[in-house]
Amino acid sequence: MRFTNFIKLSILALGICVLGCKPKVKINPKLKLSLSSLTVNNIYDKHLVSGAVFYANTLKTDSLTKKSNALFAKGDDLYKNKKMPDSAIVLLKQSLVALPQPNTYFEIGQVLMDMQSSAKSDTKKSELNEALQAYDMATFLHYQPLAVIYYNMACADNLLASYDSAIDGNKMSFHLSQAIFNLTNAFEHGFNDTATLQKDGRLTSLINTDSYRQIITQLNAKTDFDKYKVLFPVLTQPYANSVDSLDMKGAEISTDFASFIPGMVTTHFDRGVNQDYYAIGKIAETQAYTALIYSTSLFDGMEDPEYWQGPNMVSTFLLTYSPTGTVIDSLLISCRCTEESAKTVKIANNIITTQDYTLTWKYSDSVMNNFQSRIFELQQKQEEYTENITNTNATDTTQQKNLQNELTDVTTQVDSLNTINNAVVKKQLGDKKSYRLKDDGKIEEIHESAKTAMK
C-alpha cells in the first residue's frame, strides 16, 4: 500500500516539476537511467566505472573532481617522495572511488610494477595481474600516450610468463604471446626507444626471441600511414548505418595518428575537453586512394556549431586518402546530429546515399532531465542514510531500524526510476542526398538530373 501511494505521489510531483521546474541537468534522452556505486572492491568493473564517469560529467560534480585530485596528489607524494607504495595504493584507490580517472589507474599500475622488487613471492603474481587490470582501465578511460600503457603491459605479461613457466608450461606461451602483442602495439602507437628497451630487465627474455626480431623487421618496413590503416577492418558494400546503429564505435584511434584526421588534437580526460575517435572500417581501396570510415564522439564542453553532440552523440565520416596518407576529401555520412535529428547512410557500388530524419522520443528532454535530477537527489539520500546507519550506536536498535526503513524506501524509489527507458517512437523523413566516390578519390554530390541519367 505504501509503495502504491509513493508511486502516485511521485507521478504527481514529477508532473508539477515538469510544468514548473527548470531542468537541472541536460542528458542524452536515449540513455537508460542507471546508477553506479564504486567501492575499492569494484574499481576494475568497466560497467560501474563508465556509469560513475558519465554521471560525474553530466551532473557537473566539481566537488568529486577536487576530492579525487586531492587524494591522487597525496598518493603520488607517498609513492614518489616518501617511498611508501602500500600507503600510496590505498589513497589512489580512494581517489578512484571518488572519481575514476585514467592517470590514477596508470599510477596504480606503476606502483604495483615498482613493488615487484620488494614483493613477497606469493604476492608477485597477483600484483602483476592487478597491474594489468589497472593499465587496461587506464586504456579504457583513454589514457594518452597509449604507447606507454602498452609498453608497461608488455613488461607485466613478460614477468608473468617467467613466473608461470615453473608451474605451467602452457601459461608461459600465453603470457609471452600477450607480451609480444602488447609490445607490438607499443611500437605501432609511437614507441621507438629501443635503447631503453634493451636495458629493461623486465623484457630481457622477450628481446632474445625470434618474435621480437620479427617485430623490429616488420615495423621498420611500415610507414605511419600503413600503421594507421591497420586499425580499420575491411568493410563490404553494400554498407549501411541505420538510426538504431548510429552510436556504433570501433577500435579507438590514438592521437599518435592525429595527422591523418583533420581537427584531431591531443585531449585530456576532464569535464571540459573530451573527444574520442574510432576506426569503423575500410570501404574501398585502389591504386589512387583509400576510403576509410571513422566515428567521433564529442562530450560536454565541446560543441560543433552545426552538429551539436551531447553525451554519446556520435558522428561518422568518410575520408579518402592518397597512397601517402594525404587527405583527398571528406564527408559527414551519418550522425545522431542533435537529440531530435539524425542522418543515416547506405553505400553501394561506391554510391553514398544519406537520409536525414526528425526524431520524436517517448519522453521529452525536460521530462528525462527531471527523472535524472530526481535520481541524483535520491542517490544523495542513500549516501546520507547509509552514513547515518554507520554512525548510529549499534545498541540503539529503534533508530537503526528507522534509518534502515528509510534507506529501503529510497532504494525502492531508485529501482523504480531505473526501469525507465526512452526510445524513438516516430521518425519523419527529411533531406535525402546522393554522392559518388570518384576514381581519383574525390567525393561528388549527384544531383537529380545526374540520377535520372544514371538510371
Domains annotated on the chain, with CATH = 2-27+364-417 (no CATH), 46-222 (1.25.40.10), 227-362+429-454 (no CATH)
Angle between helices 210-221 and 169-188 (to 10 degrees): 20
- Tell me the three cell numbers of residue 377: 537527489
pLDDT of residue 137: 93
Q: Which residue type occupies 377? A: E
Which of 385, 338, 381 lies closest to 357, judged by CA? Answer: 338
- Percent helix, strand, coil in the chain, to 5, is 50, 20, 30
For residue 401, give the H/E element and its range: helix 397-417
**How many other CB atoms are there within 10 angstroms of residue 153's CB atom?**
25
pLDDT of residue 6: 41
pTM equals 0.51
pLDDT of residue 265: 62
Place of cell 547509509: 386
Task: Write the burial class of residue 157 (CB in 10 Å: 0-12 exposed, 13-18 middle, 19+ buried).
Answer: buried
pLDDT of residue 61: 56
Question: Beta partners for 285?
Answer: 290
**pLDDT (tens digit, 0 to 9) for every residue of the chain, 455 residues total?**
443 444 444 434 444 343 334 333 333 433 343 434 678 888 898 888 887 887 776 655 567 778 888 889 998 888 888 888 888 999 999 999 888 999 999 999 999 998 887 767 778 888 999 999 999 999 988 887 788 899 999 999 999 887 765 555 444 467 888 899 999 888 877 777 778 888 888 998 888 888 888 888 877 767 788 888 888 888 888 998 887 766 666 777 877 788 898 877 644 333 333 577 888 889 999 999 999 999 887 643 333 333 333 335 788 999 999 998 999 999 999 888 777 888 999 999 999 999 999 888 787 767 877 877 787 788 778 778 777 777 777 677 787 788 788 878 878 887 787 777 777 778 888 999 999 999 999 999 998 655 555 55
pLDDT of residue 434: 94
H-type helices in 99-223, by residue range?
102-114, 124-140, 146-165, 169-188, 194-199, 204-207, 210-221
